[in-house]
Amino acid sequence: MAFHCGPVCARRGRPSPGKSDSDADEGGRGGEGISELRRVGKPGESGRRRSPAQASREISAFRSQAVDREPDGGASGRGSVKAPCALTGFAFPDWAYKPESSPGSRQIQLWHFILELLRKEEYHDVIAWQGDYGEFVIKDPDEVARLWGARKCKPQMNYDKLSRALRYYYNKRILHKTKGKRFTYKFNFNKLVLVNYPFIDMGSAGSGVPQSAPPVPSGAGAHFRFPPSTPSDVLSPNEDLRSPGVFSAVARRMARGSGRSEAASGRWAGRGGGGGPSGGGGGGGFRSILHPRLSHDSLFRMYGPPANTAHPPPRAPPAHRVHPDPLSPFPVSPLPGPAGAGLLAPPLSPALSMTPSSHLPYTPSPTLSPMLGSHFSFNPEDMKRYLQAHTQSVYNYHLSPRAFLHYPNIIIPQPQRPDKGLGPGAGGERGGAGRGGLPHGHGHGHGHAHGHPLHHPLHLGEEPPHLSPFKFKLQPPPLGRKQREGQAQGRPGSSSSGSLSSTSGLGSSMSFGSDLSSAGGSGVISNSSSSGSLNSAGLPKIKVEPISDIESEEEVEVTDISDEDVDDRDEEFDLFPHRRDRQLNGGAAPPPADDDLDEDVFKAPAPPPPGLPPFLGPPAEPRRPLALKSEPGEPGETPPAGAPPSGPGGTKCIPLKLRFKRRWSEDQRMEASSEESDDKKVRAEGQEADRNGEGEENGEGESPPPAPDCPPPPNQRRVSAELHRATAQLSLENKDC
DNA sequence: CTCGGAACCA
DNA sequence: TGGTTCCGAG
């Protein structure tokens, strides 16, 4: 067993570059000796014989690490980020590795390592992407364990241990297990990305494309701060993961949002298509991503012409899930191969895949990308682009129309958010806006935490002056299974955990700055119209269109950012949006309406309570507030059974706080039952998906690519306008209340 | 196989 | 913090 622990191991730090081979030392180091004795017994890894090839692989693996770190000269230079290594293609910012930043992350982390292996073709026989986006299979567990052990200088490493480590990621949401499939796990790239790059300023993304404008280094006042957060932030499960509130939100949205109807069900629509292996050129990758349901045209319509004129006309309908690289979860293969073209950014996240490429302003261009060759990179720039794209997509695409309206300029929280400790008001998660704002509620908040607005194409610039950190986070911290259980038990009342408090913060809920308001351009509205799903999602329950029959609920599902947060669920997988719905249903009580509720809350006219700026009613915008809830009859708002009594009708007037509370309570309940929910959700989702015609990720097979449906009706805009109005009214009402 | 608790390490 | 190592349970 030769593990290469050499240099690498020696220092916690990263191996020095180049050393690759050297490492061969085996690890014998006693350091860990601890249990060697014990371990001895285990069969395991130890014995594996490796083929030379493997050996080489190992080496390369190590090497890659070292290499990766090269500074990139490129744009990325900014900040502490290190340049991605072209060689590896997979680069992480230094901080990712660095100890200093985060205590925890001094060394390479397992997920990094996994990703690394994944991106290397050499290891495809050992571990490879498979199935849904982000899903990978460990073909040779022992080998992977060995490699890992080598990297960590833990000769005794075996799959059992490695898998344990992997399981810890579940709670962090970095990974989750694909049930039913052996050795199959799925990355939650959103988390990874978001987590790591929460600070990225999306603002630039807006219209445009970053291409021309590389992200500005933080120094410049730009929002983009690179290394703001410490790595720890990055990964920390509780907050950290979420921290990227906005992003999260986005992600969620992506996942969930229209998701359900759209991508959601489908899994990442993106998968394939576009880009070819090479990443298809610039936009290609994304393009492929478009949600099946939406046509480019629609998108455009919805959002208006892409900011960049440059965009090529929408292509033919993207093939869903077609990927050049079968192995890769990304639309564009992240793999090092030829694909060089694929820029990481976009492809990176499976989530992205969901996004419609069309708008993406972002066009991957080699030039732009520092990492040309690389596919997956954490390079800030790439990430930024990625995120931007993400954002856009999210907002544009996945967010509810409402969201768009309101959040046109969503800002990403700055790295240093004060909010951390936010009080109730603050909302717990840092994440700001995205997070969903209100826990269930809608988030009206302003999400912007200052910062970085995501803009829509429509509104680019405005950033709200305020930087408030995101506040709303109602969600309780993600719970582990155990925790959940515990909660369940404990939580008779409602949220037991402290998280609540944050929740309570309803008020805290996100605050959207004026930004949001600004957003609204018509474009936004149109969005809503886009697909039924969107509508549903977006606007509060107004059914603009008869969406498919699918349960409106689902369709409705998500919507705003606020929803987003819906919490953990989302969080869990941003990637997997659907779950949430399921959960609701499954969840204890939540009546079908749950979603509604959730949404309701959000929907509720959120007149932002004092703390919250009105979600809807953007000041800036002339448009009137939407009727958030105009949901017809939606008792939706009404509290679910368990929910507090607000009459259906009455609900409208209910103070936001109450609403939030209710929502919160519900959530809590749900959470309690959540355990099941996952599975259930999954199933449900799957079902739904099926209904929709889209498959979900359920581990099982891949579902066929979803067919796009529901082109947005032309009148959507009108509708949306109406909605806005209604919203506004509601808002007013609420205020009164 | 998978999960997750617990103790422990760095 | 992020595993690593054991281990019992399903």
Per-residue pLDDT tens for A418-441? 333 333 333 333 333 333 333 333
Q: Which residue is nearest to nucleotide C2 (CA to C1')?
A: A104
Q: At what angle do helices A52-68 and A141-152 cross, to 10 degrees?
A: 50
The DSSP bridge partners found for residue A264 are none
Per residue in A696-715, pLDDT (tens digit) is: 333 333 332 233 233 333 34
Protein CA at A522 to nucleotide C1' at C6, angstroms: 60
Which residues touch A492 (CB under 8 Å, ≥6 apart)? none
Give the per-residue pLDDT at A532.
32
CB A161 under 7 Å to nucleic chain C? yes
- A205 pLDDT band, cuts 50/70/90, is very low
CB A32 under 7 Å to nucleic chain C? yes
Give the per-residue pLDDT at A495.
35
Chain A residues 225-244 with Cβ under 7 Å of strand C are 231-232, 234-237
- Which range of A142-151, A516-525, A617-626 scores highest in mean pLDDT? It is A142-151
Q: Is A71 strand, coil or helix? A: coil
A393 vs A56: which has the higher pLDDT: A56
Protein CA at A101 to nucleotide C1' at B8, angstroms: 24
Chain A residues 435-494 with Cβ under 7 Å of strand B are 480-483
Give the per-residue pLDDT at A172.
87
CA end-to-end distance (rounded Å), chain A:
71
Protein CA at A329 to nucleotide C1' at C1, angstroms: 29
Give the per-residue pLDDT at A127.
92
pLDDT over 60 at A140, yes or no:
yes
- A46 pLDDT band, cuts 50/70/90, is very low
CA distances, A720 to each of A4, A37, A528 (Å) = 60, 68, 6
- A372 pLDDT band, cuts 50/70/90, is very low
Q: Are A171 and A240 in contact (CB under 8 A)?
A: no
What is the distance between the alpha carbons of residues A247 and A569, in angstroms, rounded to a whole number? 15
Q: Which nucleotide is nearest to A485 (CA to C1')?
A: B4
Q: Are A478 and A432 in contact (CB under 8 A)?
A: no
Burial (CB < 10 A; 0-12, 13-18, 19+), residue A512, is buried
What is the distance between the alpha carbons of residues A91 and A83, in angstroms, rounded to a whole number? 7
Per residue in A535-562, pLDDT (tens digit) is: 333 333 333 333 232 233 222 223 232 3
Protein CA at A732 to nucleotide C1' at B9, angstroms: 58
What is the distance between the alpha carbons of residues A58 and A691, in angstroms, rounded to a whole number? 45
- Proportion of chain A above pLDDT 90, given as a percent: 5
Give the per-residue pLDDT at A658.
52
Q: Are A511 and A445 in contact (CB under 8 A)?
A: yes
Question: Do strands A184-187 and A127-129 pair parallel, antiparallel, or not at all (unpaired)?
Answer: unpaired
A399 vs A718: which has the higher pLDDT: A718
CB A103 under 7 Å to nucleic chain C? yes
CB A111 under 7 Å to nucleic chain C? yes
pLDDT over 80 at A373, yes or no:
no
Give the per-residue pLDDT at A225.
30
What phi and psi values does residue A626 have, to the nearest 5 degrees? -85, 165
Nucleotides of C under 7 A from a protein CB: 1-7
Q: Which residue is nearest to nucleotide B9 (CA to C1')?
A: A32
What is the distance between the alpha carbons of residues A615 and A209, in angstroms, rounded to a whole number? 27
CA A540 to chain centre: 22
What integer best gives the mean pLDDT of chain A?
41
Q: Are A125 and A139 in contact (CB under 8 A)?
A: yes
**CA-based angle A329:A330:A333, to the nearest 5?**
100
Protein CA at A180 to nucleotide C1' at B1, angstroms: 10
Q: What is the DSSP string of A366-414?
A: TTT-TTTT-SSB--HHHHHHHHHHHHIIIIIIIS-HHHHHH-TT--PPP
CB A34 under 7 Å to nucleic chain C? yes
Which residues touch A533 (CB under 8 Å, ≥6 apart)? A258, A259, A260, A261, A262, A293, A547, A555, A710
Per residue in A568-600, pLDDT (tens digit) is: 333 333 333 333 333 333 333 333 333 333 322
Protein CA at A164 to nucleotide C1' at C1, angstroms: 16
Per residue in A67-114, pLDDT (tens digit) is: 333 222 222 333 333 323 323 333 334 443 343 333 344 578 898 899
What is the distance between the alpha carbons of residues A44 and A38, in angstroms, rounded to a whole number? 12
* Token pair of A359 as six digits: 């708008």
Protein CA at A529 to nucleotide C1' at B7, angstroms: 55
CB A29 under 7 Å to nucleic chain B? no
Question: Do strands A175-177 and A135-138 pair parallel, antiparallel, or not at all (unpaired)?
Answer: unpaired
Mean pLDDT, residues A611-639 taken together: 32
Give the per-residue pLDDT at A473.
32
